[in-house]
Chain A
Amino acid sequence: MHEGPQIELKLISDPMYLCGARELVGCIARRIGFDDMDCSKITLAVDEALSNIIRHGYNKSFDKPIWIGITPIKPSAESIGGIIITIDDEAKQVDPCTMKGRELEDVRPGGLGVHIIREVMDEVRYEKRAKVGMRMIMTKRAVRPEESPRLSDTGSGNRSDQEQGACKVTSVCKKSSKSLPR
């Protein structure tokens, strides 16, 4: 059985290709079974992750490589499935634990990307790649239609979900031990 992402996209760090990445991810998320709003949230998370890499990882150099990998989580007795998205780059390595969004009470331009990603995805993890660059792994699980939240209800922003542990937003900091096939 094939392991790892079932579809991969390589792009250069030019913002003009963000729309193409969004289209691909959104299309596959829809095919997996996510509703329209969840597809929108997943594409937003990917867009924010890519923008952060371009802006901070590559300091707005528009010719650096980025890889997006998509792996569907198949439905099982315990789960109704979901999507795992990995994003790899060759940017300067940073301590994964420092990848935090700013406090929202401090309203100012910028700094919202990491916060948005953590809000809309169920799990977000950053790793250092084996030799160079960073890897981001984010997971979103599909919910049955009767469990679908309101459009603006999000993971950590939904107090009742948090209290019931229905939606976990996690951040794990570790160094990747796997070498990449690239």
Chain B
Amino acid sequence: MAREQSAFITVEKPEQGIVVIVPSTDIDMSRSPELRTAIRQEMGGGVHKMIVDLEDVHYMDSSGLATLVEAMRNAGKSDTKLVICKMNQKVSAIFEIARLDSFFSIVDTRDEAVSL
């Protein structure tokens, strides 16, 4: 398993064509640019599935949502499937408040995300 580290975002490549983005901090206006950069860097180039694992994200604001909306749009353009997994209830509530819960593919576990 290839594994790359950055300050707050881990990028895992569990198998060919699948990339998992794992932020390890709350995502607000100060952190969302880093998430955006990581997603942009990994999108395309033979990646057919990108998974964003939010297990360690206990808080997200609208800048985080905007980053994921942008990622979803770019995924569509580059023929990549974007899946979000392991959201906690508070982060999930923010998706619902913004009525974006049905816009994304959201599953509970990493295994579900891989097999989706």
Query: What residues of chain A have their CB less than 8 Å away from a CB belonging to chain B?
Result: 14-16, 18-19, 22, 37, 40-41, 43-44, 47-48, 51, 54-55, 104, 107-110, 112-113, 115-116, 119-120, 151-152, 154, 157
Contacts and interface: CB of A to CB of B under 8 A. Distances in A.
Contacts of B62: 48, 51, 110, 112-113, 116
A47 B61 contact: yes
A55 B89 contact: no
A67 to B, nearest CB: 18
Nearest to B30: A15
Given A107-B103, A112-B66, A151 B89 contact: yes
The 9 closest A-B pairs by CB, nearest first: A15-B30, A109-B66, A152-B96, A112-B62, A15-B29, A109-B70, A51-B29, A152-B93, A109-B69
B97 A19 contact: no
A119 B61 contact: no
B92 interface: yes
Interface in B14-47: 26, 28-30
B108 to A, nearest CB: 16
A24 B97 CA distance: 23
B97 A51 contact: no
A151 B70 CA distance: 26
Given A18-B29, A112-B62, A115-B98, 7 more contacts: A22-B59, A37-B93, A44-B94, A47-B61, A48-B61, A112-B66, A112-B98
Contacts of A16: 30
B99 interface: yes
A116 B69 contact: no
Contact of A51 (B61, B67, B94, B96): B61
Given A51-B63, A112-B66, A116-B98, A18 B92 contact: no
Contacts of A22: 28, 59
B69 A107 contact: yes
B70 A154 contact: no
A84 B4 CA distance: 45
Contacts of A110: 62, 66
A55 B29 contact: yes
